[in-house]
Structure formats: structure tokens, C-alpha cells
Structure 1
Amino acid sequence: MNEKAVTNELIERCSRYYNSDLNNKVYSDAVIRNGLVDVALNHEAVADMHYHFSEEIDVGDVTNQKKTGRCWMFAALNCVRHGISESLQMKDKNFELSQNYTFFWDKLEKSNLFLENIISTIDKDIDDHEVIGLLNSPVEEGGRWGLFAKLIEKYGVVPKYAMPDSKTSEDSKVLNQILNEKMREYAKVLRKMYRENKSIEIIRDKKEEMLIDIYNILCHFLGEPPKTFDFEYRDVNGDFHREKDITPLDFYNKYSTVKPKDYIVLVNYPAEDKPFGKTYSIKYHGNVVDDEPIKYLNVDINTLKELAIAQIKGGEQVSFGCDVGKMSHREFGIMDMNLFNYETVLNTKFDMNKEERLMYRASGSSHVMTFTGVNLVNGKPNRWKVQNSWGEAAGNKGFYIMSDEWFDEYVLRVAINKKYVSEEILRAYEQEPIILDPWNTLGPVF
């Protein structure tokens, strides 16, 4: 008998264990019939999580990213649009910026970054683990605050009416397939040119031809971004305003009170290889190719909370990244560690802390939203109000509620305006970042 195999004897032991507890059969029947989520739902926890907050920002209605991975730009644009709307005292509280516009430039810039990464690894074997990683995910859809900051500082923003969503910007599966196929094709061409002893200058000339092709493809799917537009709105007094032929970058510089370059990103990644108080960056990660790495300062969880509270009190929502799929309910819009009685129903234990979950890739930043409120009791938070980007059907008209314990376990990063941050933290943030491998759990995994 092979000692490595699943044996009949082991299967018999498994069966005896399962049948030794009558509750197992009762819970099994319930789960088989109704699914784990409904059976394990803790209704007392649902009742405890109500939508009242001592500190709250009126940010208007939620937006809807639909079938795309654009949550990070939706969250960031929600911060920018709220600042514009408030500063101009716009009558339309639901004034919206074009996510499609930002989406276009992100796709183009990530295509360029991929090709540059291929050039930087062009002398490596095709089976090199870094080359394999790049080819596995040529143009990723996800992103973070730092990526948004680079896009908005380079391209500005436009109102949604100036570049409305297309069918593809609301469901990007086919576009992603086309782009990734083209990127792998281009990688083949560039690597072949190198092996034919073509110079890097000639290779980069070829890269530019490839980007012209990608621009053309993006225009077919998303439309061409406007070079200028007319900005029109009505204020709360009913007065109409118009500025003709303004460029997206001039519009951003003139009207946006939220400037992402004025923010820093703080993360909470408890791990032996990432001490608190140090900055980190991820090799190959980003979108816009420049000399400024996207970096993160690792701090304790209480620092994240204190700064998020300060920013909310200052009237600014807080963009944050988290592991949204854990201990959360989409219909109720609740994120709480007591939400499901999984251990009782399944008769098992889940025994990893935050550090261990990150280390063993059981957790990671899967979604970006914004904090728009917090409930403080004796100065301490017990629940947080969250603006999601999944439309009004989820949660309370699209808003979620998060327990403070859930924050501890599954919130991983926040973007904080420097004006709320101490000099000590700012000095720490200015450190040269430690460059982590592209498969490190702090960054995109490939």
C-alpha cells in the first residue's frame, strides 16, 4: 500500500468522524439545501450593525463599476468628484467624473509599462520566473491610489458627459483578452528582435509602433479621449456656469481640491520581512513609466485608524484597500468578524491571524472603496461607513458598514492627505523604498 495515497482505511476513519456527531448531519442537510452563507448567517450580528455614525460625510449616491476591475479608480474619482462638487457648490450632488477616460489612459500606460518590462528582461530566458510572471498578467485591470495619482497628474479628468461609458468600459472581459493577446505577441516580436542583434533603440522604435496599434484598439472599444470639452454646471443658487474648450489637465488643476500627489499610502502588513516604519515598492508594478516608484509605508493598524478618522473629521473621504470577500455579505452590505458562524456549522476551526493569512496567501487586497463615516464611542471607533462602487442594489443603497474588528483583520491600506500626518510619519515615508519581488504579498501576485 502506498503510504502517500488516500486509503480505504483513511476514508473509513473520515466517515466515522463525520457520523460521530449528530449535529454534523443536521448542519449538512441545511447547508446542502440552503448554502453555507444563509445557514451560517448570525442574525444578531446583522442587528448590531446599524447605519448610524457620529462622523459622516454627505457624498451623494454611489457609482457602479459593473463588470470591470475599476474599483480603485472609482474610489479615487469619488474622492475627486466630491471635492469639486463641494468647492463649486454644485446643485447636482451626484456630479460624476468619467471613469472611462481614466480607464483608457490606464490601459495605454500599462501596455507601455509591460513592453518596457519585457525590454528590461529581454536577455532572460523565456522560462525565467520573472518573464513567466510578466507573460501571465500583461495588462492587469486592478490598481491602487498611487497608480491613479500618476494618471490624473498626467492626463487630468473630465466630467462623465465628456466621455461616457461604453459597453466595453462596463464589461471589459473581451478588451482584456485582446490586449493580453497583443501584449504576448509583441513580447515575442521584441524578444526575437533582440536575438537578431537589433539595437535597443530600434527595439524601442518598434515599441512605439505597437503603442500606436494599441491606441487604435482602445479607441474602438472605449472611444477616443477628448482633448478639450465645455464644462457646464448649475450651482445651489440656480446660477449656470460654463467654461468652453478647457483641457482635461487644466480642468483638474483648476477645479480639483483633491490632488493625489498630496497624499501618502500607508499599509498594515504585519510580517517579519516587512518591519513597520519602512517603505516598500514592488518590482515591475505600476502603470506610468517614470523615475518615481509607487511606494508604501508600513505602520501599525491603530495608525491607519487614527489618520482615517482625522481625515473623515476634516470632511474628506478615505480611499482604502481591503480583502472584501472575507466575512462580508453583499446583500446586507455588512463586513463583520461575527457575521457567520462558520466554525459551528462546519465543525472545524479557522486558526490564522492577519500575518499568517498574508504570508500563506489566504488574504490580500482584493477591492478598493472609500470611508465616508465612522461611529466613535468615547473617542474610539466601533463601526465605519463605506462607499462602495457596486451600484445601489448592494448594501444600504450601495453603502456598506464595517465593524472595527473587521478593519483590524482585513483593511490593508489607506490613502491619507499629508496635512493629517505627523512629521515623524512624513519623514519615514521619504525613505528610499525597499524593492520587493513582484510576487511578494504586498503587491500583485503572479
Structure 2
Amino acid sequence: MTNLSQSNEQTAAITAKQISRYQDTFNARKDAKVVERAVTHQGILATSADFASDVDMTPVFSIDLETGKVANQKQSGRCWMFAALNTMRHELADLFKLDDFELSQNYTFFWDKFEKANYFYQNVLDTAVNPITDRKVAFLMATPQQDGGQWDMLCAIIEKYGIVPKSAMPETYSSSKSSELNTTLNKKLRKDATILRQMVTDNQSDEAIAKTRDQMLSDVYRLLCYTLGEPVQTFDFEYRDKDHNYHVDRDLTPKAFYDKYVGWNLDDYVSIINAPTSDKPYNQTYTIEMLGNVLGGRPVKHLNVDMPTFKQLAIAQLQAGQSVWFGCDVGQSSDRQKGIMDLNAYNKNDLLDIDLSMTKAERLDYGESLMTHAMVITGVDLKEGQPTKWKVENSWGEKVGHKGYFVMSDRWMDEYCYQVVVNKKFLNPELQTAQAAEPKVLAPWDPMGALASH
């Protein structure tokens, strides 16, 4: 077997004759030096940028929800959290006539980090009998916790801890620039993993393990208090509305604030995905192993549907006056500064004379694409009932796009959008039944869980 492998390697090794042929082929192209000069000076993206995309992506929409000033997650991976809280604050701001209002992303960030630590400890104990080289164990240790997450994970936090206005728990250095916190917390969690795995190996009692774990959680709580501030337990909600009327609501708890000022039944909001891979038949539900934050809380659950249904559900919610949380692969064919996500934004195939096309399923199966970012859909342009482009509220501040808002072409949505969250009242009876079914468990590294690992 070794000899055959060595023989194949020798046959496949690049030869001087091949290189000479490649050089001749390159130099025979009339445009080779022109393209080389352009790309070496400007790079692939700038050279392949298509001006026509700027015209097509004019930010005018037939349905355009007024959602106010965009937020800024800064140097953190809290897009999913910002997007979810933004969908809630849109309605809250309208109801109570609030101007430039945000919910505290730092408050939910604290509890997400804390709960993720406990979730990690449980996964470590559940896999403690597996060798350290086991793929699941290696997956756990690669990133014990991170900033990313899913809609259902934020619901789990809110259901347990509530939410607060940003004024009650503002940003800190580590919430806005989370790399130092993540590095330190992951170092601690890996150290704790060595202790917990050894305790299992030594057949120590459940009581002893629980006591050790409790001390570990106390350490994590202290670390998070030092970096993010201790979470507020009660607070006064004080503000002036757009009519300059003064309001104050005293001694609120975070859960009381959520119930009074948001009041959504989070069970009504469900995750819809479009993953056209052979392992995920449509109209079935899926969850991801070892993905979550709150033990015993709401699990991650996706209903997979075809793309026409996916878009119809998003449009229905927009028509009802409510914005839509969504997950996508934001780095694909997008211009961050212009705020354009469009398949025609760059024409690399023509520039390089290389066919880079893949199907959506192929990109997922072969690691070319996955969910990397969550934002909010706040509008859509319909022509004869069909969408042509979508308005997107990002969380990267006002210096990108159109004061922080992006334009997404409908064709881009087809290829690079993977998830929307909608009220289940917009699902037809068949889909409601499908959504209620027990989900199939996917591997921890499935691309439909990738948003939580960023």
C-alpha cells in the first residue's frame, strides 16, 4: 500500500516540463499582462468590482420599516445578540416613543458567557471517557466558548434572566473588544477540563465533581464581573419620549422589564433554515449536538424549507410590520463600505477566466460557505409580488453602508442566506406540524451551527 501511494505521489509531482507549459499558456494570452498589472496593484476585489451592481442596489424599497439608528457591536462577535435585541427594540421604541434607544447587549453577553461555561463543563463530563483525540473532544477544546450564538440561545437567556435597557448596564472595554476576555476565559475552561476529565478517570464521586464544578463557576462569575461588570438586579427605567414627556419606572427587575416593555411570547418565534444538502430533507427539523448555552433551557431547533417558502415567510412578517432576524455568510460577494450584498458586486470569473461557481449545497458540503453573521431584514422591494432586493440593518455602526444599512439582492439571498426567525403564525398548518416534530440531531460541526462558533 505504501509503495502504491509513493508511486502515485511521484506521478502527480509537478515537473519542470509542466511549469514550462503553464508559462507558455499564460504568456500566450493577449490580456495576461494587463490583468496582471491591474490585480497586482489593486487586488482581486477592486479589479473585479462591477459598477452595474451599484445601480441595481439603489436603497429604495416598496416595504420599508422605520427602525432608527443602527447599533455597533464593535470588536466583538455578538451579531446574533445585537440582531435579536434590535428586533425587540424596534417595536419597543415605537410603542413608547423612544428615540435612539438600545437594549443592553452587555447584560445578555454576561449571562451568555456564564451559562456557556457551565454548558462546556457538562459537555466535558459527558465526553470524559473519550480519548483526548476523539473528534468531539477536540471540537470542544478548540473553542470552549466564544461570542457567537443562535436565536434560540438568546431566547434561553431572556427566559431565565430577562433583559435591561442599555442605560442600566452599558458597554465595557471587554464587551466591545472581547478578544482578551475570550482568550483568558478559554484558558481557564481548558484548565478546568483537565481537572474534570481527571476526576472522572479517577472515579471520584458525583458529589466531589459537583463541588469542584461549583467553585469553577464561582471563578468564572468573578472573571466576568471584573470584565463586564456585575449584572444589575433592579434598576429605574428613566427616559424622555419623542414628545419630551418625562417617564420613570422604578425598581424593575430584568424579567419584569421584559414582560412589561417587550412582552413577546418567545415560543411563538421559530428558526427557519434553507440548507439544500442531501442530509437535510425539507420540512423536517434539526438540532446540533453540543450547541447551546443554558442547560435545561430552550434548545436550538431549525425547520428546513425550500427557498421560495423561506422568502415568503420573511415577506409575510415584514408586511405585518415586524422586522426579521436572519443569518447569512456576509463575506461572500459583498462590499462592506458600500453596504452591498450582490452576486454581481464582483466579477471574478471574467477577470481571472476561472469558473468559481458552486451550488449552495456544494458550498455547504465542502466548507466554502456557512453562517457567519446575523442581521435584521427591515424592508423588501417587491415587483409584481416578487422580491428583487432587501433592506438590511447591520450592527457595524453608521460608517458603513447607508448609515449602517445594507442592500441585499434577492439572488444573493438565494445563495448565501441560511436562516430567518419568524412568528410561527405565518407558517401554514403543514409547516406548523413539521416544526413541532422532534428534531434530528446533527454533528457539532454542522454548518447550520457555525454562527455560534464565531
Q: TM-score range by the shorter chain?
A: over 0.9
Matches within 5 A, 1:301-340: 301-340=307-346
1:392 aligns to 2:398 (yes or no): yes
Which of the numbers 14, 17, 38 marks the counterpart of 1:9?
17
Which of the numbers 91, 104, 109 marks the counterpart of 1:103?
109
Aligned to 2:77, the other structure's residue is in SS state: coil
Give, in angstroms, the shift of residue 429 of structure 1.
Answer: 0.5
1:48 aligns to 2:62 (yes or no): no
Aligned to 1:161, the other structure's residue is in SS state: coil
- Do the aligned residues in 2 keep the contact of 1:71 with 1:389 (CA within 8 Å)? yes
Distance in 1 (CA, whole Å) between partners of 2:408 and 2:269 is 24
Tell me what 1:173 maps to: 179
Q: Deviations over 1:144-165 (max 9, x none)?
A: 1111111111111111111110
Tell me what 2:348 maps to: 342
Aligned to 2:337, the other structure's residue is in SS state: coil
Q: Deviations over 1:180-230 (max 9, x none)?
A: 100100000011111221022321221111010000001111100100110
- Do the aligned residues in 2 keep the contact of 1:75 with 1:319 (CA within 8 Å)? yes
Distance in 2 (CA, whole Å) between partners of 1:180 and 1:10 is 47
Which of the numbers 232, 236, 242 marks the counterpart of 2:242?
236
Which of the numbers 135, 142, 147 marks the counterpart of 1:141?
147
- Do the aligned residues in 1 keep the contact of 2:272 with 2:303 (CA within 8 Å)? yes
Aligned to 1:63, the other structure's residue is in SS state: coil
Give, in angstroms, the shift of residue 237 of structure 1.
Answer: 3.3
Tell me what 1:86 maps to: 94
Q: Deviations over 1:60-95 (max 9, x none)?
A: 0100001110000000010111121112233x1x21
Which of the numbers 174, 184, 203 marks the counterpart of 1:197?
203
Distance in 1 (CA, whole Å) between partners of 2:92 and 2:265 is 11
Matches within 5 A, 1:108-119: 108-119=114-125
Distance in 2 (CA, whole Å) between partners of 1:351 and 1:403 is 18
1:19 aligns to 2:19 (yes or no): no
- Do the aligned residues in 2 keep the contact of 1:79 with 1:258 (CA within 8 Å)? no
Give, in angstroms, the shift of residue 397 of structure 1.
Answer: 0.5
Distance in 1 (CA, whole Å) between partners of 2:440 and 2:204 is 34
Aligned length: 444
- Do the aligned residues in 2 keep the contact of 1:285 with 1:443 (CA within 8 Å)? yes
Cα separation, partners in 2 of 1:375 and 1:164, compared to 1, 3 Å = same
- Do the aligned residues in 1 keep the contact of 2:334 with 2:340 (CA within 8 Å)? yes
Distance in 2 (CA, whole Å) between partners of 1:86 and 1:351 is 43
Could you tell me which amino acid in structure 1 is paired with residue 17 of structure 2?
E
Give, in angstroms, the shift of residue 257 of structure 1.
Answer: 4.2
Distance in 2 (CA, whole Å) between partners of 1:289 and 1:229 is 27
Tell me what 1:299 maps to: 305
- Do the aligned residues in 1 keep the contact of 2:174 with 2:181 (CA within 8 Å)? yes
Matches within 5 A, 1:144-159: 144-159=150-165
- Do the aligned residues in 1 keep the contact of 2:152 with 2:298 (CA within 8 Å)? no
Matches within 5 A, 1:262-301: 262-290=268-296, 292-301=298-307
Could you tell me which amino acid in structure 1 is paired with residue 77 of structure 2?
G
User: Can you give the 5+ residue segments of structure 1 that lack an aligned partner in the other structure?
Assistant: none
Aligned to 1:154, the other structure's residue is in SS state: helix
Could you tell me which amino acid in structure 2 is paired with residue 71 of structure 1?
C
State the identity as a percent: 45
Structure 1 vs Structure 2 CA RMSD: 1.4
Aligned to 2:371, the other structure's residue is in SS state: coil
Tell me what 2:429 maps to: 423
1:441 aligns to 2:452 (yes or no): no
1:37 aligns to 2:45 (yes or no): yes
- Do the aligned residues in 2 keep the contact of 1:229 with 1:245 (CA within 8 Å)? yes
- Do the aligned residues in 2 keep the contact of 1:80 with 1:257 (CA within 8 Å)? no
Give, in angstroms, the shift of residue 351 of structure 1.
Answer: 2.5
Could you tell me which amino acid in structure 2 is paired with residue 75 of structure 1?
A
Matches within 5 A, 1:123-138: 123-138=129-144
1:355 aligns to 2:357 (yes or no): no
Which of the numbers 252, 262, 273 marks the counterpart of 1:246?
252
Distance in 1 (CA, whole Å) between partners of 2:265 and 2:77 is 23
State the 4+ residue runs in structure 1 displaced beyond 6 angstroms: none
Give, in angstroms, the shift of residue 356 of structure 1.
Answer: 0.5
- Do the aligned residues in 1 keep the contact of 2:150 with 2:300 (CA within 8 Å)? no
Give, in angstroms, the shift of residue 47 of structure 1.
Answer: 1.3
Tell me what 2:36 maps to: 28
- Do the aligned residues in 2 keep the contact of 1:87 with 1:257 (CA within 8 Å)? no
Give, in angstroms, the shift of residue 258 of structure 1.
Answer: 3.8
- Do the aligned residues in 1 keep the contact of 2:70 with 2:397 (CA within 8 Å)? yes
Could you tell me which amino acid in structure 2 is paired with residue 198 of structure 1?
Q
Tell me what 2:371 maps to: 365
User: Can you give the 5+ residue segments of structure 2 that lack an aligned partner in the other structure?
Assistant: 1-8
Tell me what 2:6 maps to: none
Could you tell me which amino acid in structure 2 is paired with residue 325 of structure 1?
G
- Do the aligned residues in 2 keep the contact of 1:24 with 1:347 (CA within 8 Å)? no
Could you tell me which amino acid in structure 1 is paired with residue 281 of structure 2?
P
Q: State which drifts further: 405-414 or 433-442.
A: 433-442
Q: State which drifts further: 256-265 or 128-137.
A: 256-265
